[in-house]
Amino acid sequence: MSYNCILVSTDGPVGLITLNRPEALNALNRQITAEISAAAAAFDADPAIGALVVTGSDRAFAAGADIKEIADKSFAEVYEENFITATWEGLARVRKPTLAAVSGHALGGGCELALMCDIVIASETARFALPETAIGIIPGAGGTQRLTRIVGKAVAMDMIMSGRALSAEEALAMGLVSRVVAAGDHVTEAMTLAKTLAKRSRPVMQLAKEAVSKAYETHLQEGLYVERRLLYATFALEDRKEGMTAFAEKRPPAFRNR
């Protein structure tokens, strides 16, 4: 598939999606979100790919939704076209590990796009904000839900109601990002980590992702129940036996993804 608003490449077992609308600071319109979802689905289906990285430019990961595209829309139009859901959620549906490599502005939909990923690697220049209320709307691509589950009600209320921006270090302290690196190193760090994850057993990584996602979505007892069942499932895998055998023999495991 050819793309107009993103660049797609691979580096070994890692797929890389680079947002590429520099004239609009990677603002997210219907076309770019559809392309991100399509590329993410293609990587997810590719047996040669074990992990996925999404990034933007040094100046902007993504500076929010493209307001020019939606400014004149009516309620009936956004409802009928299933705005947001129709094209935005593909990245959140990927079963393989997903990483966001963020530099510069991650505003509105850009922040929400990063929140869809499993791990966020931030350059020290990264800034995260949900400023939608300043233009008369609210976040609609998971900002009110994913952000609240990560940083808690007080900070989420502050960010969403006032538009407060978090620096990379603040985002790290609040659990929104997992690592902060020097300016310009975010993609390299994310790709290095993604290659490490891609070498692990694919089904084990999917089970781990499912278990953590369940903790994010449900109450403790239900999450513990699911965790145990998913742990038990690993004992049906050849990779589980290989991993434990390799550990006992003090050698690297040779996973076969089954």
Is 222 a catalytic site residue?
no
For residue 38, the number of C-alpha atoms closer than 13 Å in the C-beta half-sphere is 14
Residues 134-173: b if buried by 16+ CB within 10 A, e if exposed: eeeeebbbbbbebbbbbbeeebbeebbeebebbebebbbe
Q: How far apart are CA 71 and CA 172, in angstroms?
A: 33
Catalytic residue among 109, 142, 143, 243: 109
Q: How far apart are CA 21 and CA 60, in angstroms?
A: 10
Is 132 a catalytic site residue?
yes
Is 65 a catalytic site residue?
yes
Is 69 a catalytic site residue?
no
| Residue position matching structure tokens 């109601």 | 161
Catalytic residue among 27, 104, 132, 194: 132
Catalytic residue among 65, 92, 100, 101: 65
Catalytic residue among 62, 90, 104, 112: 112
Vertex 112 angle, CA 16 and 97, to 5° = 40
Q: Which residues are catalytic?
A: 65, 109, 112, 132
